[in-house]
Chains A and B, each alone.
Chain A
Amino acid sequence: MNEKVLSRQFDLPYLHKIDVYLENGGYEAVRKALKLPPEEIVEEVKKANLRGRGGAGFPAGLKWSFVPRVDKPKYLCVNADEGEPGTFKDRYIMSHNPHLLIEGIIITSYAVGIHLAFIYIRGEYEKIAQRLEKAIEEARNKGFLGENILGTGFNLEVVVHRGAGAYICGEETALLESLEGKRGHPRLKPPFPASVGLFQMPTVINNVETVANVPLIILNGADWFLSLGQPKDGGTRLFSVSGMVERPGVYELPVGTPLRKIIFDYAGGVKNGRRLKAVIPGGMSAPILLPEEIDVPMDCESVMKRGSMLGSAAIIVIDETVPIIEVLSKVTKFYSHESCGQCTPCRIGTAWINKIVKRIASGQGRKDDLKEIERLASQIKGRTLCPLGDAAALPILAIVNKFRTELEAMLPH
């Protein structure tokens, strides 16, 4: 079954304009949701097993239920930072159907008791930020935002807030720091944002695609959502497919679709009939897979069992013509460049490994370089303040491990 649900209407011209959106059933989910008790919405989303689509895969309904129902300001931050290399699905959602996201924001905020929501969008998505702001204006003019929405007494304001070029701000606590006007330094957890978040207040942080699924769950029910995907992982995912395939692009497919199928059936297989060398299944932070490993169902649990992760569901296809050192170099350059610099292992470890890899790439490798890289990456793994440490260490370890022969050939013996 490859029926599009979330992106079903994305090809409609001018869908980003509220009149077109309304003509096509828009804001029905909001109307329905605002008549339900908020707790019921949380339960429904929990039942639907909607897992976070930003990278961590944490169940959204469960996250919402951690927010205490107290009389304090609470906030929603929609994570539109989309910095995971290989990922472009949120760009797709926000530029084609901003109102779907806005609906999701309204319903989520209503369910948790939030009256101020921020869309933290990466600074490079300036044009999309402008489109979102226009859509928010339209929504307000039609009474879907602001005070006393649809006469229910529910108030909600949505603010589009631009980042400025820092991958780490996609990490939820670094996002909060950035939104508070500071450097994007991740915070210690506990406490978790659900209790101590933006300005120390309870906060929900959800990815764009996660929030965009909420209206669908409200309209069609949790059971329907589950039936699209897997028992512990409901719905569809928007897979960002790039690299050496015939047809790069966004593919909406059920959670659990096999990776091989996505690459060869939907995206047209490896470009120019070349042979597959490797696949990154979930954005650069997901450890690389070999051709014999791509028969994995693309759901959170299955990919994890295979030693990688579904992450942001960004699939990067690499063919036989690519020297693996090129892939490794991009990985080590990226993480050392994006390290915020707070904690010792990441700040120094990622830079150290990058220096070694640069040397190898320029033909000045030394005999024990691979052992050294593996040693250092193992010292970063599990020891850092935030997940960026693992996001760097695990892919590096996977590449060195799985392509050891090719890399060793670059070193003196």
Chain B
Amino acid sequence: MPKITIDGQTIEVAEGTTILKAAGQAGIEIPHLCYHPAFPPEGSCRLCLVEIEGAPKLELACATVVREGMVVKTQSEKVKEARRSVLEFLLAEHPLDCPICDKAGECQLQDYYELYGLFASQYRETKEKKDKLVRLGRHLLLDRERCIQCTRCVRFLLEITRTGELGVFERGIRSIIGFYEGEPVDNNYSGNLAEICPVGAITDLDFRFKTRRWLLDSRPSICPLCSRNCAINVEFHKGLPRIELGQRVFRIRSRKNLRVNQYWICDLGRYSYRYLDENRIDRPYQLVNGRRINLSWEKLIILLSEKIRALKIRKRTSRIVLVLNSALTNEELFLMRRLFLEELAVSRFIFCDPPEEKGDNFLLTAERVPNRRGAEKIGFDLKSREEVLQEDKIDLLLIFAAHLAEKMPLNWLSSLASEIGAKFLFSSQESKLSQLMDFVAPVTPVAEKAGSFINVDGLMQSFEAALNPWGESRPEWEILVNLAREIPVNYRYFGRFNSPRAIWKAIAEEKLNISERL
């Protein structure tokens, strides 16, 4: 374990660590553009040059491995001048696009200029003219004048997706990024290119000219669209008074998680966020002969509790059918088990997960629900159990659809609907399903609640709410606790659950053997 000194600080690092990584461990930031932790060092931007005692020239921090006793200076005059000069070179040929460039506010060139530049431009020649509107594929635009030739995009496609669509054409200052006619970037990970581009050369069409980075808040969450459970950031308008609040969420970005999705998310997860702001159910309501009557949550809970209590007293909870899916959190599935299966002796439950689709051999799984592993761990049988529908009459049908109302396979419902007593739907999205119901109540999708999932590899991640609930949406766990209070059922037990964290504590204490918290 070599010991080195960086800016006066002595630290010990693992054999084979680069100066850049070692500095990071010491809390020292060394600026870099072409380097990305997911790829081997490239060494072309020259921004990370640092001074090493005894070495004649400045050396690259990203590519130089530390040796015992190395003394590194990252703040000397020489280093500062070298950084300034790289920025000067880059900005010399860079178009003055900041006012119209989507990357403004999260651009490495801007950020580094503020930290290490702050010089007046002395470039008085004519800048190179290149194409500014090159369509790279379904989602991306390339502005060749803004490109700083860091080649992260080229390397991402060679090393991560192994599809290699992009290349460097021409030579010297005329170098440009391009693709072969007819072979643009259309793989399921293209959106990552706009994220890893340090400047506004590659931008996302989905985000183009829509808003500004500094108007957005960014909160962590988990993507619920497949069982990989990629770590994401949900970016939404903070809601400044003078900005019109048409749309909350403007984009989804990847969040680093080296054990799940490294630095990436797939395009499906990245671009399917509109459901968070569109087609939402605002408040609970009842449908009487097709007419909609708004209800308060209190009223709905009371009504439902009455029906359950009535069946419980007559020992007829066998007339209750519970329809679930694996988009529910571990905490919610746990409550389902304790409350319905155990306390209320409801044995007729079905998991109606949407059918599997094609996964790719990277992040996207064939399963298009987030928490089948969690459901299994909590002890549910996920096999198709449509036979339970025939076991007895159905006096009460409860469908917990999460965000999957459109996709749950419920083809048995329309034929049975007229024979079912009362039908309750808990869903975040409006859908054709609502029309078949008697009562509809809004629930919060994953982005609006806290909880935990277990992914396809058995890794558990817990998450907090990134957005406020839409309208009167409530998380399923809260609805279940309210039901337990109102029915009432063992409220001494359920009444403690005032947060998903408290539920998790119970799961851990009751030793259901769920794998360690991540």
Contact = CB atoms under 8 A, between A and B. Distances in A.
A188 B172 contact: no
A344 interface: yes
Contact of B172 (A341, A344, A366): A341
Contact of A348 (B41, B93, B171): B93
A332 interface: no
B44 A383 contact: no
Given A339-B172, A341-B173, A343-B46, A348 B126 contact: no
Given A188-B43, A356-B125, A345 B85 contact: yes
Interface string A361-384: 000001000001000000100111
Contacts of A366: 124
Given A337-B172, A340-B172, A348 B125 contact: no
The winner among B89, B148, B170 for most chain A CB atoms within 10 A is B89
A347 interface: yes
Contact of A347 (B43, B49, B175): B175
Contact of A382 (B57, B124, B148): B57
A249 B100 CA distance: 59
B41 A188 contact: yes
A339 B90 contact: no
A336 B88 CA distance: 18
A359 B85 CA distance: 23
Contacts of B43: 188, 343, 385
A355 interface: yes
Interface residues of A, number: 29
Interface in B160-178: 168, 170-175
Contacts of B148: 344
Contacts, number: 86
Given A341-B149, A343-B46, A347-B172, A383 B82 contact: yes
Contacts of B89: 344-345, 347-349, 352, 379
A342 B174 CA distance: 11
Contact of B126 (A337, A339, A355, A383): A355
A36 B90 CA distance: 56
B63 A188 contact: yes
Interface in B471-491: none
Contact of B45 (A336, A340, A344): A344
A344 B82 contact: no
Contacts of A339: 171-173
A352 B58 contact: no
B86 interface: yes
B86 A372 contact: no
Interface in B256-314: none
Contact of B86 (A336, A345, A350, A382): A345
B122 A348 contact: no
B123 interface: yes
Interface string B120-154: 00111110100000000000000000001100000
Contact of B171 (A188, A340, A359): A340
B92 interface: yes
A183 B169 CA distance: 9
Contacts of B173: 336, 339, 341, 347-348, 350-351
Interface in A20-43: none
A157 interface: no
Contacts of A166: 171
A292 to B, nearest CB: 29
A178 to B, nearest CB: 13
Which 5 residue pairs of A and B lie closest in terms of their CB atoms, listed nearest first? Answer: A341-B175, A351-B173, A379-B85, A355-B125, A339-B172
11 contacts: A341-B171, A341-B173, A344-B46, A344-B149, A345-B85, A345-B89, A348-B92, A351-B93, A351-B173, A352-B123, A379-B85
Interface of B: 41, 43-47, 49, 57-58, 60, 63, 82, 85-86, 88-90, 92-93, 122-126, 128, 148-149, 168, 170-175
Given A188-B60, A339-B172, A352-B123, 19 more contacts: A166-B171, A188-B63, A337-B172, A339-B173, A340-B172, A341-B149, A341-B175, A343-B44, A344-B149, A345-B85, A347-B89, A348-B173, A349-B89, A350-B172, A351-B173, A356-B125, A379-B85, A383-B58, A385-B43
Interface of A: 166, 183, 188, 336-345, 347-352, 355-356, 359, 366, 372, 379, 382-385
